Structure 1
């Protein structure tokens, strides 16, 4: 039927598709020009809807307009496959004609808009920064630093200049402030805090030495040289020389002696009294300095020492002044005593079993075997009492150490022991005592009380100061580190390495370094003595001495000493009977003494903690790292308003700048 066939024909035509190839041509499916454009269904929405071609092609082409006039081509009788089909094909011609007519009905876009957009895009491409300027422009919009955004945003050159000046001033002030903070931190200053603590305290070690280094009854064990020295220093022999001593006087001008311009009344009186002549005689010598002790420098030690000072220190007091006679005697005795064998010196010295009459700690008794003997050059046998169970749980004399000692003064060597008593050293447990350099002199015939207050010191090491950790020292020498012990050991080692011998006077150090004495001999010749004297005189200012720093942690004891006469007559009688029970030889000596002389034979020593409160003195950095970082952050935030995270923005900006510059250099 004609009507039906027409409807079928229109339906067939509506199902056809026209393809826009992108070059202004519309193609049918399967045509030679198809497969590269857009497909548009031929329906009522064809003017606004484009469907991608099945064979592919761009998904979207904004602003695309058809090229040419399909309807005009149809009217002009041109049959082009790309514009609607052939004229000899009515269906194709009609399809192309209708398609051209419909395309003409589409609203045309204003080309002026396209021109404007193109111009704007061109301007944007021209104004967009590139390279280094692009990096700076990108980051200035994101910076949290105060002032940067204002500098970029403002168009007023005056305001921009003011903001630049303010930003530069803030950066300069911040730099100076940071410099001061860093300088202060790098000074590594320290502060000291004092804290009072209370606890049961470990009792310190106590070392006692009789001031008499050897007993006269054991003098038979000594060498002939030592016996000769002891005989020369006997005061009885020195008194005989006093009759032959003639004082020396110098004639001194009165004006020089009293002073030309001295108007003091008493000096003018003395001047008037002495000006019967123009000169006055002034004694310039003392018997105890000039007494002839018969000392002969057999080994040439004194001559070597004097020669050394005259050569090395010509302007020093030691080189110009004369050596005292008593100094010569003391040095001579110590040198000869040090040359005795250690076993011999130990036998000649006082024994703790003879000296100790009573010992107790906190009311509990201790005995002679609790003491350890130490050999010294000045005092002979010294004895140390230390025990890790000695713990003071209460303060006061009752809970401390109490010693009653018999001094055996009848055994004192005349001229060597010129006083009666003991030397007491109170030191931390585990440390080595040096009675010659430290300690308290306790007189005979007294009850001496020493009240202690412990002080615990903790020092900063490293960059905050010099201090020595004691672990390595204790491993090498089996004692706790002290500065005195370190210096004595360093002096000994310096002497051995320089002079190839050791100084016999450094007896305390010899005990600590027995393992190093196997192939080293004593310094005996004049050249060796000169070498020893040179090392000793220059040691204090040497690097070896300066390397001995204070310990990083140590315990010291503040001491309060008080004394009174002891014992009284009745108690002295009891002490004499006690000695008689243990030593009949000493008993006869004591019984022959007067009561006052008997008092001088004994000493009572009481050592205790005055208070169990002790001081903890601790060094700490005056400028801690957390405070330093806080001040740095506060300074940066104050001047330019940056936080920690905002600082990384600056870091990122600098990294990009450096990367860009480095890449540019590589390309060039």
Structure 2
């Protein structure tokens, strides 16, 4: 009996399948509109029975009890709702582009020595300028503090003066007689001259010399030691005339610092200053995860945020004053003393206070994506009176008017700080796939099953429209005939 029942059931399935195929064929040829609707219904039931999404076939099971279908409908609905909620939360987390800053400690057998920019606070030497030029500097830099005499200097009489040559001729020289690097006397080719917002400065930069490029031994013996006198008797008016000593900046080798006002430290005359260096390498992410980037510069081959700000400041200075300050790049003429008096310094003040310039509204100067910075541990030591007397007798140097700098790596290591994306696109796909697989049992192949079913239904609908159109045309021909 069981065998007969199975045969009867198989015969019914074959008969139903044969009838379904006939209905589908009728729909394709436009013999009946109801046949097409039935074909679409049968295709939908066949899809729900075979799709790999869990629970969907029980929702549309025709011979199941309505209570069972209702329970499965609730299960599928709740699973789909929570799955969509998880996907939404994952998408919001992805669009926030979170990052972390990972820190790692790196060791090396030798470390590239940084460049050291040395700038005297006393920008001009009195012995190198004329009395008339000194009065002009006094009017320019000290008129707010020192009353002008009855016959003040007209700064316009110096408009034809070459400001670059004036700065170079009136500035301080660098002396390498008391300079030691890696235990040996410094060579003159390790120094170069540059111009910053502190005037003419001297840069110790061994990066171009393979012999001196690296510090091979940690500590003071492998570092840089430099002594220089502070010419107190040669003081005159200048932009930083209120202070004695030198301004020092430690920066990446091969680079130039333009703004010592924003970085560096001061060396006091009469003291020995020890500077222990700790190098840090930074790596930042561009948008959308980070804020670093680059922009094309007109006067520099290599991008840095400082170079970009210098160009921006130069552009605004030339537009406002028709000239540029002594440290600015470009081909515009340098500002004369009279132009500095009536325009440039007032503009520099407004430029520094213009927040729109530094929030990239006027200057597109993002942080560079990789850079090197140095943490400096600075200590000062005062020499004894006995040592002062000895130095005065031996080499005729007054220690109270000299400064001494010792700069070195304490360890041949550096810290690497790298900005890393926390929530990547791959992690988003994993979270979406995990939520879909846990609550609905779906995968990428399941999504393609829905796409394939949609195209199949669309094809049947197109055939239906074509068949109905064909049928109407035949009816019109029959009426005409």
Bin for the TM-score computed over the shorter chain: 0.7 to 0.9
- 1:223 equivalenced with 2:139 (yes/no): no
1:534 Cα deviation (Å)?
9.2
* Residue aligning to 2:312: 490
Report the secondary structure of 2:58's partner residue. Answer: helix
Aligned with 1:616 (options 416, 419, 423): 416
* Residue aligning to 2:290: 465
Contact 1:495/1:535 (CA < 8 Å) preserved in 2?
Answer: no
Aligned with 2:117 (options 207, 210, 226): 207
Alignment deviations for residues 393-448 of structure 1 (CA, whole Å, 9 cap, x no partner): 22111111111212222212278634331111001123221223221001011110
Report the secondary structure of 1:508's partner residue. Answer: coil
- 1:169 equivalenced with 2:81 (yes/no): no
Contact 1:458/1:552 (CA < 8 Å) preserved in 2?
Answer: yes
- 1:541 equivalenced with 2:365 (yes/no): no
Contact 1:358/1:404 (CA < 8 Å) preserved in 2?
Answer: yes
* Residue aligning to 1:392: 215
Aligned with 2:431 (options 618, 626, 631): 631
The number of equivalent residue pairs is: 432
Contact 2:293/2:369 (CA < 8 Å) preserved in 1?
Answer: yes
- 1:182 equivalenced with 2:91 (yes/no): yes
* Residue aligning to 1:293: 147
Aligned with 1:600 (options 385, 392, 400): 400
Aligned with 1:402 (options 203, 220, 225): 225
- 1:192 equivalenced with 2:101 (yes/no): yes
Residues 619, 352 of structure 1: alpha-carbon distance in 2 compared, 3 angstrom cutoff: same
Report the secondary structure of 2:327's partner residue. Answer: helix
- 1:144 equivalenced with 2:52 (yes/no): yes
Distance in 1, matches of 2:231 and 2:340, equals 37
Distance in 1, matches of 2:137 and 2:293, equals 44
Residues 157, 528 of structure 1: alpha-carbon distance in 2 compared, 3 angstrom cutoff: same
Distance in 1, matches of 2:288 and 2:447, equals 29
* Residue aligning to 2:27: none
Distance in 1, matches of 2:237 and 2:336, equals 32
Distance in 2, matches of 1:369 and 1:420, equals 27
Alignment deviations for residues 562-591 of structure 1 (CA, whole Å, 9 cap, x no partner): 111137544664466546xxxxxxxxxx6x
- 1:499 equivalenced with 2:320 (yes/no): yes
1:132 Cα deviation (Å)?
2.9
Report the secondary structure of 2:178's partner residue. Answer: strand
Aligned with 1:657 (options 449, 457, 476): 457
Report the secondary structure of 1:462's partner residue. Answer: coil
Contact 1:458/1:618 (CA < 8 Å) preserved in 2?
Answer: yes
Contact 2:317/2:344 (CA < 8 Å) preserved in 1?
Answer: no
Identify which of structures 1 and 2 has the higher relative contact order when contacts are C-alpha pairs closer than 8 Å and 6+ apart: 2
* Residue aligning to 1:557: 374
Contact 2:388/2:399 (CA < 8 Å) preserved in 1?
Answer: no
Instruction: Name whichever of 172-181 and 544-553 sits farther off.
Output: 544-553
1:364 Cα deviation (Å)?
2.6
- 1:442 equivalenced with 2:267 (yes/no): yes
Report the secondary structure of 2:124's partner residue. Answer: coil
Residues 131, 503 of structure 1: alpha-carbon distance in 2 compared, 3 angstrom cutoff: farther
Contact 2:159/2:338 (CA < 8 Å) preserved in 1?
Answer: no
Contact 2:163/2:335 (CA < 8 Å) preserved in 1?
Answer: no
Distance in 2, matches of 1:401 and 1:121, equals 93
* Residue aligning to 1:108: none
Report the secondary structure of 1:633's partner residue. Answer: helix
Distance in 1, matches of 2:59 and 2:450, equals 17
Alignment deviations for residues 367-415 of structure 1 (CA, whole Å, 9 cap, x no partner): 33421112345x4321011122321222111111111212222212278
Instruction: Name whichever of 387-396 and 629-638 sits farther off.
Output: 387-396
Contact 1:201/1:391 (CA < 8 Å) preserved in 2?
Answer: yes
Distance in 1, matches of 2:18 and 2:302, equals 85
Report the secondary structure of 1:223's partner residue. Answer: helix
Residues 169, 521 of structure 1: alpha-carbon distance in 2 compared, 3 angstrom cutoff: farther
Residues 432, 122 of structure 1: alpha-carbon distance in 2 compared, 3 angstrom cutoff: closer
Distance in 2, matches of 1:572 and 1:194, equals 49
Contact 1:223/1:340 (CA < 8 Å) preserved in 2?
Answer: no
Alignment deviations for residues 120-173 of structure 1 (CA, whole Å, 9 cap, x no partner): 798655698744323312312220101122223352111112212221222222
Residues 435, 386 of structure 1: alpha-carbon distance in 2 compared, 3 angstrom cutoff: same
1:348 Cα deviation (Å)?
0.9
Report the secondary structure of 2:206's partner residue. Answer: coil
Alignment deviations for residues 173-230 of structure 1 (CA, whole Å, 9 cap, x no partner): 2111111111111111111110011112111110011111111111228637525538
Larger radius of gyration: 1
- 1:135 equivalenced with 2:43 (yes/no): yes
* Residue aligning to 1:426: 250
Alignment deviations for residues 311-363 of structure 1 (CA, whole Å, 9 cap, x no partner): xxxxxxxxxxxxxxxxxxxxx9xxx999762112111111113xx33222211
Q: Where in structure 2 are there 5+ consecutive unaligned residues? A: 1-11, 25-34, 470-481
Contact 2:159/2:337 (CA < 8 Å) preserved in 1?
Answer: no
1:528 Cα deviation (Å)?
6.0
1:541 Cα deviation (Å)?
1.2
* Residue aligning to 2:5: none
1:626 Cα deviation (Å)?
2.2
Question: TM-score scaled to structure 1, two decimals?
Answer: 0.57
Contact 1:431/1:482 (CA < 8 Å) preserved in 2?
Answer: no
Alignment deviations for residues 536-559 of structure 1 (CA, whole Å, 9 cap, x no partner): 267431445552111100011111
* Residue aligning to 1:345: 167
* Residue aligning to 2:477: none
Q: Where in structure 1 are there 5+ consecutive unaligned residues? A: 1-115, 234-288, 301-331, 580-589, 591-597
Distance in 1, matches of 2:119 and 2:393, equals 22
Distance in 2, matches of 1:184 and 1:438, equals 37
* Residue aligning to 1:380: 199
C-alpha root-mean-square deviation of aligned residues, in Å? 3.9
Distance in 2, matches of 1:349 and 1:196, equals 42
Distance in 1, matches of 2:442 and 2:91, equals 18
* Residue aligning to 2:185: 365
1:483 Cα deviation (Å)?
2.3
Question: TM-score scaled to structure 2, two decimals?
Answer: 0.78
Distance in 2, matches of 1:120 and 1:217, equals 115
Contact 2:272/2:404 (CA < 8 Å) preserved in 1?
Answer: yes
Report the secondary structure of 1:168's partner residue. Answer: helix
